[in-house]
Amino acid sequence: MLADSSAIHLPVLLVDDDETCCTMMALTLQKAGVKNVHCLSDSRQVLPFLQKHGAALALLDLAMPHLSGYELLGMIRHDYPGIQVVVISGANELGRAVECMKLGALDYLSKPVEPNRLVACVNGAVRINGMQGELLSLKKRLLEDSLDNPAAFEAIITRSGKMRALFQYAEVVALSSQPILITGETGVGKELMARAVHQISRVSGEFVSVNVAGLDDVTFSDTLFGHKKGAFTGADQVREGLIARAADGTLFLDEIGDLDERSQIKLLRLLQEGEYYPVGSDTLKKTTARIIAVTNHNLSERVAEKLFRKDLYYRLCTHEIHIPSLRERSEDIPLLLDNFLREAALSYHKNQPKVAVRAISHLLGLSFPGNVRELKAMVYDAVARHTEGDLTDLSFDRRQGERITVPVSIAADSLSEQVIDALFGHFPTFHEIENYLIEEALRRTGGNPGMAASLLGITRQTISNRRKPCGVAEKSGKSNG
């Protein structure tokens, strides 16, 4: 089954002079959920078709009369660089297929084409097309310092350039149907970010939240997937799970790093196939919910410790938003302080107290292991105990965290400067922006230069040339030493 058939808006074009082979591939893709499949048996019709209809993906047989797949590949890459191309080769054409990969083909299939391999190929093209759009949108936001949905982030009080850059990234990935992993220490605002993503995505369904920490596998399955009547003792009626309640909306999985190992397998299937079984039922159900998972753990470390499945980790972190700690954005402390003072004063029916300058300096020097949540608790406690005069550093001593030396950087004159400083530390050259986008594309494609080149609409050689001056070699198994 195709992971996200809704993401294919343009045709998938199959080109093969063997009409039987073409029809079989079309049926396989339609069965997997691809609705817009078009077959051509005459290679001379390909370019006119693309000019009129476009395509999300073109699958080309290499050995065809008139125009070979090899010739068509070059033409498509030149005239339609945004279209992904997969070549189909016979057993004696593998060398030619490898040449096609070097020219920019996304992948190749060998005849006879295996259905699972064909669907996997299309899945890969869908992901690449989605990431291409995201990178273009991210590039636009970085250069223009624009936010299309500032109201969605109003609950996150900040003047930090790092946070502004995260908002821009969140706007890009919010429109994707792929899962999002939000990481960060306790109290940084992970759920607020998740709700902002839900709002931006403009989905029609609910935001449904569940904390999965401490749930055994049976409870997890029943909570998420529901059960049929008679599934177990006490199951007197059918109950839909939270995944059904989140249909066309967002399922928010809190503390995903603590998920039971057996439940991890079920979640992986849900993410990969978009399918699940209610407890006690053999009827397969599909989900239209978008998954957002959050954790304060370092999941890569938990993978190394065999506490979290590697395949599930890679599936979850298609899009990752890491929220910095409060000590990494201490310029937000005065803003947050003023907001929490106002909230606390209203809550306790008091006048908002003033804060001595020394008290602000004191707060700027704390490490805040509990981050924004800890600062809020500290302020509420200080206001509750306050009777007269200004709040001083002593007013915040009862919940004092460890003292540290924190470099305080009050925000630059414009948010644009903050975003640039957060990414580069200075005003970047075009060369530096190019390098940033190349490294981001490589990160998203797992270090694959060919896929990164497809994302950026450039050649693999261009990526190689851009990286060599920095002393960074492509993964080839060779040492620079």
Residue 139, pLDDT score: 66
Q: How far apart are CA 379 and CA 389, in angstroms?
A: 15
Q: How far apart are CA 435 and CA 463, in angstroms?
A: 9
Please write the tens of the pLDDT for every residue from 436-459: 788 777 877 777 777 777 777 777
User: Amino acid identity, residue 11?
Assistant: P
CATH code for the structural domain at 149-324 = 3.40.50.300
Please write the tens of the pLDDT for every residue from 313-352: 999 988 999 999 999 999 999 999 999 999 999 999 999 9
Residue 471, pLDDT score: 42
Architecture, CATH, for domain 5-127: 3-Layer(aba) Sandwich (3.40)
pLDDT at 231 over 50: yes
Residue 91, pLDDT score: 61
- Who contacts 162 (Cβ-Cβ below 8 Å, separation ≥6)? 324, 328, 329, 418, 422
Give the start-to-end residue ranges of the domains of the chain.
5-127, 149-324, 327-399, 415-470
Q: How far apart are CA 43 and CA 237, in angstroms?
A: 58
Highest mean pLDDT among 45-59, 229-243, 392-406, 462-476: 45-59
In this predicted structure, which of 74-78, 157-161, 470-474 has the lowest mean pLDDT? 470-474
Q: Which residues share a beta bridge with 109?
A: 88
Residue 11, pLDDT score: 83
Q: Do domains 149-324 and 327-399 have the same CATH topology?
A: no
Q: Would you call the peptide bond into 324 cis, given omega within 30 degrees of 0 as the criterion?
A: no
Helices 46-53, 69-79: crossing angle, 10 deg rounding: 30
User: Amino acid identity, residue 298?
Assistant: N
Task: Say which CATH topology domain 327-399 has.
Answer: Helicase, Ruva Protein; domain 3 (1.10.8)
Architecture, CATH, for domain 415-470: Orthogonal Bundle (1.10)
Q: How far apart are CA 255 and CA 97, in angstroms?
A: 45
Q: How far apart are CA 284 and CA 256, in angstroms?
A: 24
Which residue would you say has higher pLDDT here, 400 or 153? 153
* Mean pLDDT computed over 127-139: 69
Tokens of 298: 């370092």
Q: Which residues share a beta bridge with 209?
A: 252
